[in-house]
């Protein structure tokens, strides 16, 4: 089997390439620069030169593969339009073969306790654009295609991800970990190794399926910030921020970090046999 992946040189993409090759799957990966091409080549994937805006390249590469995983995002002006056109091109190329699209649990907004994929959708503004795109992706299941949406929680592990960028690195500079609100809100977490395995399994999922990629760990932010204080070398030092202060400092992503979310990943476990193994999130987050 050969899989074409976008975003392969990114944080989750690199680990996903490793997971695919570990399962005996050959990988081709979109690479928009020589640097990205070197990264995916070193991981054992064959680079395909192009960007997410190169829809002809995407369509052709998807057409040559046995399955597609779309992890890449272009965080520039017109993100929603670029993602929609890229997804359409990839699905055109994939046809009736598996197409795995990336969403994210932030689109559910605040949850009322522990919920699953059928919870109401109430996204913060930074992810609101995903709703229409994911609706379009899944609608093509009715035409005989095989779209699946994987919705990762907040991904951590291997000293990377948004938590490191927006919490640990600023804490190292300022001497205190930012905490939005009183810390009582929960984060739905998943280790990068585990979410990569879910992407591999999703290639064999039923058409039209949606899976929350969460490990079932939903610790409160107060516990998370204490762990991050250890990672940043400033244990016990917390910088409490109002949401307004956090938005001024971090941008609109602060609204997503302030969500109170608790999720179960039971559907992926039940239907795909997904078995997350990195289940001590606080210990992982505390690692320097």
3 state SS of 4: strand
Mean pLDDT of 168-196: 97
Quote the DSSP letter at residue 186.
B
Q: Alpha-carbon distance 244 to 254, whole Å?
A: 9
Mean pLDDT of 129-137: 97
Q: How many angstroms from the chain centroid is the CA of residue 259?
A: 16
Q: Alpha-carbon distance 247 to 258, whole Å?
A: 10
3 state SS of 115: strand
- Taking the whole predicted model, whether its pTM rises above 0.95 is answered as yes
How confident is residue 214, by pLDDT bands cut at 50, 70 and 90? very high
* Angle between helix 79-94 and helix 55-64 axes, rounded to 10 deg: 30
| The predicted structure's pLDDT at residue 159 | 87
Mean pLDDT of 209-223: 96
Task: Indicate the fold that domain 155-188+217-285 takes in CATH.
Answer: UDP-galactose 4-epimerase; domain 1 (3.90.25)
3 state SS of 168: helix
Q: Alpha-carbon distance 68 to 45, whole Å?
A: 14
Cα atoms in the Cβ-side hemisphere of radius 13 Å centred on 123 = 16
Domain layout of the chain by residue ranges? 2-154+190-213, 155-188+217-285
Whether the pLDDT of residue 27 is over 90: the answer is: yes
The sign one gets for the Cα dihedral 130, 135, 136, 137 is positive
CATH of domain 2-154+190-213: 3.40.50.720
pLDDT, one tens digit per residue, over 104-128 is: 999 999 999 999 999 999 999 999 9
Cross-strand bridge partners of residue 210: 149
| The predicted structure's pLDDT at residue 25 | 98
Task: Please write down the long-range contacts of 204-209, taking CB distance under 8 Å and 24 or more positions apart.
Answer: 204/98, 204/272, 205/98, 205/100, 205/148, 205/271, 205/272, 206/148, 206/271, 207/141, 207/145, 207/146, 207/147, 207/148, 208/138, 208/141, 208/147, 208/148, 209/148, 209/149, 209/271
Whether the pLDDT of residue 288 is over 80: the answer is: no
Do the strands 210-213 and 146-152 form a parallel or antiparallel pair, or are they unpaired? parallel
Greatest C-alpha distance within the chain: 55
């Amino acid at each position: 089997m050969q899989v074409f992946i976008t975003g392969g040189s990114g944080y989750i993409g690199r680990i996903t390439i490793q997971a695919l090759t570990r399962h005996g799957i050959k990988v081709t990966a979109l690479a928009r620069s020589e640097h990205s091409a070197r990264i995916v080549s070193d991981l054992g994937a064959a680079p395909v030169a192009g960007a997410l805006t190169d829809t002809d390249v995407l369509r052709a590469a998807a057409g040559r593969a046995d399955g597609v995983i779309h992890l890449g995002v272009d965080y520039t002006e017109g993100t929603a339009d670029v993602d929609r056109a890229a997804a359409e091109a990839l699905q055109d190329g994939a046809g009736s073969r598996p197409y795995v699209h990336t969403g994210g649990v932030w689109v559910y907004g605040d949850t009322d306790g522990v919920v699953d994929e059928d919870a109401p959708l109430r996204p913060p503004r930074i992810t609101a654009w995903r709703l229409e795109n994911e609706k379009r992706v899944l609608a093509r299941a009715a035409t005989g295609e095989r779209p699946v949406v994987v919705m990762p929680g907040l991904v951590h592990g291997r000293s990377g991800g948004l938590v490191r960028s927006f919490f640990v690195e600023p804490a190292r500079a300022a001497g205190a970990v930012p905490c939005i609100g009183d810390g009582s809100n929960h984060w739905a977490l998943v280790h990068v190794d585990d979410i990569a395995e879910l992407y591999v399994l999703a290639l064999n999922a039923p058409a039209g399926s949606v899976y929350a990629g969460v490990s079932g760990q939903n610790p409160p932010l107060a516990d998370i910030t204490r762990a991050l204080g250890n990672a940043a070398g400033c244990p016990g030092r917390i910088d409490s921020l109002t949401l307004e202060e956090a938005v001024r400092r971090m941008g609109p992503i602060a609204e997503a970090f302030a969500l109170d979310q608790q999720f179960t990943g039971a559907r992926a476990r039940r239907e795909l046999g997904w078995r997350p193994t990195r289940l001590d999130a606080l210990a992982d987050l505390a690692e320097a």
